[in-house]
Amino acid sequence: MAITARFFVAEVTKFAGRDDQGTVRLRPSYANGANKEWATATPSGEITMSVNDPGAFAEFDAARLASDDIHITFERHPRATQ
């Protein structure tokens, strides 16, 4: 079963001396009740990632600047053993 959630980019912090890499902080998007069908199942949360890929970092920053949400799908996957 896949689990989906909608987050917004709350914060982008660039690494020292780098404009294309940094830390991205995501928070649940409740959009003033527009996402209420799933918001009651996810009352709070936060995802913080270090993003070293310049293209991905730019995409997160563009989403933040445009006030766009990020749709995330979580799926189970067997853990690697090595």
- 21-66 per-position pLDDT tens digit: 999 999 988 766 666 766 666 667 899 999 999 999 999 999 999 9
Taking 70 as the threshold, does the pLDDT of residue 71 lie above it?
yes
Dihedral (C-alpha) 44, 50, 53, 57: value to the nearest 10 degrees?
Answer: 50
pTM of the model: 0.81
Contact 51, 63 (CB under 8 A): no
Give the residue, 45 or 82, on which the prediction is more confident.
45
Q: What pLDDT shows up at residue 17?
A: 94
Closest to 53 (Cα-Cα) out of 44, 61, 64: 61
Taking 80 as the threshold, does the pLDDT of residue 74 lie above it?
yes
Give the residue, 64 or 6, on which the prediction is more confident.
64
Q: What pLDDT shows up at residue 30?
A: 77
